[in-house]
């Protein structure tokens, strides 16, 4: 990757600075921020332009219904939990889900983690008040600490470098797992080791047995196994903190085009997708595949304006719309948007985020979601696309490979009291390993129904 480029391109990358920049912290020391920005700008890229291009080509397949995107991972990653066991369990869970989807629906799955960069979170308020004490809101480990103390909550630019180094080690481990034999399809049984035995676990073991028999048959027939030994695994996060994303943007030596090298895929959140805002402006300038979250109040005109800004030429695989409507709204809110976009003719990948529109508060005060609502939103997403003859291209899920108790229901029948057993998230509730697998089986069934229809 080159750091030299046409001065006009560089100027364009900084045009966002003159616009309204929402959901950013107030850094107390501008000189410290500038010094860290210089460090990030000089650091090696976390991903490469060619990898982002390869992902864009696979997303183009998903747009046409020839593949399916599975993105999963933490609501907000934390520095303290970026250890080998948790990363491995998260990757194992996504690999298991992809196996269920691939085998159950006879369709290639594009695998992407909410990983190695999901450290910043939008907040509804700049401050938080407890017992009469008001402090800056927790905006993710990349900005400040979760502990409710004045020292912890001060935004610290050094955390930007910590996010970079933690992301680098997470990506190194992810590449080792997915390219070094761990992801070999002949080890599908081993991916269940260490997980609690549940009905979803047993269903997966049955599927793994079928895969084993199929592989033995192929081996007896002389099939080549090179394609089964490794998987392509991509990273993605919300491109929220522009003081992190801009310094990590590089100019591709092959093409002279800018790429945000903090991740393969970046998305713009529901709170920051204003057409004349800084986030849409900045991400219109980089060449990565880009996503945008669309809530229930989105109009078809909003979607077209985003297409005009982010993908005016209709490049396949460039733009993904990630809908987060809520189970009770998706069937009424989504159709008019899809119809408007479809009539435009430029390609868009439609992906369902069934998590963020279904957040509730349990009777004992825990922020949670109902598994039944999560699945109902995905089902509604498929129903809308089935009715309109368009392609439901993927799911975007907050999950963990750990046996947490943060989402109600599922085959484990977690109730309000059960949430207290292992509620570990710092921000939003995540599906645990068993619920993630259960979802994969249900989505595979929806994909089969779509193919049959």
Pick from 155, 121, 166, 400: which is nearest to 262 by CA? Answer: 166
Residue 323 contacts residue 380 (beta carbons within 8 Å): no
How far apart (Å, rounded) are the C-alpha atoms in residues 438 and 446? 13
- The Cβ-side half-sphere exposure at 37, using a 13 Å CA radius, reads 15
Q: Cα–Cα distance between 102 and 87 in angstroms, integer? A: 22
| 75 marked among binding-site residues | yes
Judge whether 125 and 23 are in contact, CB under 8 Å: no
Distance CA 283, CA 280 (A): 5
Is 398 known as a binding-site position? yes
Tell me the three state secondary structure of residue 12: helix
Pairing of strands 127-130, 109-114: unpaired
Known binding residue 428? Answer is: yes
CA 168 to chain centroid, in Å, comes to 17
Is there a binding annotation on residue 352? no
- Side-chain-side CA neighbours of residue 153 (13 Å): 14
In the chain, how long is the greatest CA-to-CA distance?
A: 72
Long-range CB contacts (within 8 A, 24+) of 153-158: 154/28, 155/25, 155/26, 155/27, 155/28, 157/27, 157/29, 157/32, 157/33, 157/35, 157/36, 157/243, 158/32, 158/36
Question: 420 exposed, middle or buried (CB, 10 Å; 0-12, 13-18, 19+)?
Answer: exposed
Q: Do 226 and 143 form a contact (C-beta atoms < 8 A)?
A: no
Pairing mode of beta strands 233-238, 265-268: parallel
114 annotated to bind ligand: yes
Q: Which residues are annotated as a binding site for Mn(2+)?
A: 75, 356, 398, 428
Annotated binding site: 75, 114, 270-271, 293, 324, 356, 398, 428
* Residues flagged as binding site for phosphoenolpyruvate: 114, 270-271, 293, 324
């Amino acid at each position: 990757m080159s750091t030299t480029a046409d001065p006009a391109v560089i100027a364009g990358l900084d045009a966002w600075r003159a616009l309204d920049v929402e959901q950013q912290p107030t850094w107390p020391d501008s000189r410290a921020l500038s010094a860290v920005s210089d460090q990030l700008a000089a650091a090696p890229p976390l991903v490469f332009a060619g990898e982002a291009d390869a992902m864009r080509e696979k997303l183009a397949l998903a747009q046409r219904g020839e593949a399916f995107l599975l993105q999963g991972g933490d609501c907000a990653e934390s520095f303290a939990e970026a250890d080998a066991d948790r990363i491995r369990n998260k990757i194992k869970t996504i690999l298991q889900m992809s196996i269920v989807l691939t085998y159950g629906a006879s369709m290639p799955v594009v695998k992407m983690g909410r990983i190695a960069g999901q450290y910043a979170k939008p907040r509804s308020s700049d401050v938080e008040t407890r017992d009469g004490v008001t402090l800056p809101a927790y905006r993710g480990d990349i900005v400040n600490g979760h502990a409710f103390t004045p020292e912890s909550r001060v935004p610290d630019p050094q955390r930007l470098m910590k996010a970079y180094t933690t992301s680098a080690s997470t990506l190194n481990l992810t590449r080792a797992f997915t390219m070094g034999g761990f992801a070999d399809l002949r080890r599908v049984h081993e991916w269940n080791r260490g997980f609690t035995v549940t009905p979803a676990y047993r269903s997966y073991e049955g599927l793994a047995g079928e895969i084993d028999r199929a592989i033995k048959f192929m081996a007896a027939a002389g099939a080549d196994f090179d394609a089964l030994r490794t998987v392509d695994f991509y990273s993605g996060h919300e491109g929220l903190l522009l003081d992190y994303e801009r310094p990590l943007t590089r100019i591709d030596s092959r093409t002279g085009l800018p790429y945000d090298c903090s991740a393969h895929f970046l998305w713009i959140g529901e709170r920051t997708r204003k057409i004349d805002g800084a986030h849409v402006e900045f991400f219109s300038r980089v060449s990565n595949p880009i996503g945008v979250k669309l809530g229930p109040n989105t109009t078809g005109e909003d979607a077209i304006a985003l297409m005009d800004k982010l993908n005016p030429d209709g490049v396949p695989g460039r733009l993904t719309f990630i809908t987060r409507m809520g189970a009770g709204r998706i069937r009424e809110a989504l159709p008019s948007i899809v119809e408007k976009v479809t009539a435009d003719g430029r390609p868009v990948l439609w992906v369902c985020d069934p998590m963020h529109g279904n957040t509730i508060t349990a009777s004992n005060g825990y922020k949670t979601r109902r598994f039944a609502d999560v699945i109902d939103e995905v089902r509604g997403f498929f129903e809308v696309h089935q009715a309109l003859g368009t392609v439901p291209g993927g799911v975007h899920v907050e999950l963990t490979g750990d046996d947490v108790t943060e989402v109600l229901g599922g085959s484990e029948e977690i109730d309000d009291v059960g949430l207290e057993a292992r509620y570990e998230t710092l921000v939003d509730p995540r599906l645990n390993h068993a619920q993630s697998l259960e979802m994969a089986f249900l989505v595979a069934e929806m994909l089969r129904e779509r193919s049959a229809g």
